[in-house]
Amino acid sequence: MSFINIEIKARTNNSQIIRQWLLDNNAEFKGIDEQSDTYFTVPHGRLKLREGNIENNLIYYERKNQAGPKQSDFNLLPVENPVALKNVLSAALGIKVIVIKKREIYYIDNVKFHIDQIEGLGHFVEIEAGNKSKDVPIEELRKQCDFYMHAFDIRDEDLIDVSYSDMLVEKAASS
């Protein structure tokens, strides 16, 4: 099934402040997920298999690389046996990169928040205002994303325009 997020990713040194803001504003804490995202080599878009203790999904998405709120069009398929699927996709497509992260997951209504610690990259926050749980117009998703960016005091210079996978590939290429 296809969905839309308006989302941002930003570096942060304020994880504790963001966490406290979320808790003070009645965000639903879903838990801490130790995730491994395996990105496969595909001709366009991004295909990743997420393996975690909370989320196990095959995710295909297309998103422009730009700082600030951006639209991400994605398909999500829950996966019962991620190890077997990873073996098949690895053999068929090849692995581009693997992203290892510790992710705190919170929700306020239709907006999902991640406080991430990415192995080899540092600390980040993500805001995903989406239409997966209810039908919300894109304009409203943009307003929600902007609201939380302001609430978390995210500055333009903190925004990241690429995926964690792109950042790790670039880091490996420059090493």
CB 144 within 8 A of CB 167: no
Name the token pair of 70. Answer: 């951006």
Mean pLDDT of the chain: 95
110-169, pLDDT tens digit by residue?
999 999 999 999 999 999 999 988 888 999 999 999 999 999 999 999 999 999 999 999
Q: Which residues pair with 70 in a beta bridge?
A: 7
Q: Token pair of 10, please?
A: 């930003």
CATH no. of 2-174: 2.40.320.10
Query: Considering only CA atoms, which of 99, 115, 163 is closest in space to residue 13?
Result: 115
pLDDT, mean of residues 102-106:
98
Structure tokens at 6: 């308006």
| Percent of all residues in the chain with a pLDDT value above 90, rounded to a whole number | 91
Domain ranges in the chain are 2-174
> Can you give the pLDDT at residue 1?
65
